[in-house]
Amino acid sequence: MVNQESSATTPEAQGFALPLSARVVLIDLDGTLVDTAPDLAAAANHVLRSLGREPAAMPTIRGFIGNGVRELMRRALTITAEPSQAELDAAMEGFSAYYGEHLLDHSQVYPGVRETLDALRVQGRELVCITNKAGAFTEPMLERLGLRGYFSLVLSGDSLPRKKPDPLPLLHAAAHFQQAVADCLLVGDSGNDTRAARAAGMPVACVSYGYNGDEPVHCLRPDAVLDNMLELLNILA
């Protein structure tokens, strides 16, 4: 069920009215398009075990997803003790090597995603994959899952000088397609997405099934909450 959120005119909630024109639709990757938590957790725990540390539980790792894999690994290490930069650098080498080889052991595209992307493409909308994941992982994942062809533009966490929750990637995408920011839509799953969208002045919808820690996405006050990606089609004009 699609839920339109409260529309008080504040920096946190501009209150864009539904339906949205959204000639450009920007979609987050981890927790929105693809359930990547199992493989991210496996890579992080591989590193923790190699360092003689206890592995972290899946709910804990899920709460670390969204700010890029370096921050995920730092937070996983911090469960035991805050790592030095040298320790984190070494841990990231192990993480990157393992994750690159096990990128899609268990990760799966969420229900309704492919059908929604097909429909958006038929409608003639421009699609952008916008993620804080490094490009070295983003591009292979999209290719191997058969999703890359849907996106006219892919913005990874290292594509630009700043990533979400900074508004730069959103503003870049709107400018790339020569569209007003308010005529675009970001679809995500976390506070990084809502903060970036509000800072950019862009409408934002959040899926309820993604990675936002223990906080329901309704608390982020997006313009709409989607229980399935197919519900995106119901909020577009």
Q: Looking at the annotation, which residues are catalytic? A: 28
Task: Specify whether the backbone of 183 is left (phi greater than 0), alpha (psi in -120 to 50) or beta.
Answer: alpha
Task: Say which DSSP state 20 is in.
Answer: B
The string over 153-163, giving b where at least 16 C-beta atoms fall within 10 Å of a residue's C-beta and e elsewhere, is bbbbbebeeeb
Segments in the chain forming alpha helices (H): 37-50, 58-62, 69-78, 85-101, 113-122, 135-144, 168-176, 191-200
The candidate with the shortest Cα–Cα distance to 36, out of 17, 12, 58, is: 58
Coil, strand, or helix at residue 113?
A: helix
80-89 long-range contacts, CB within 8 A, separation 24+? 80/53, 80/54
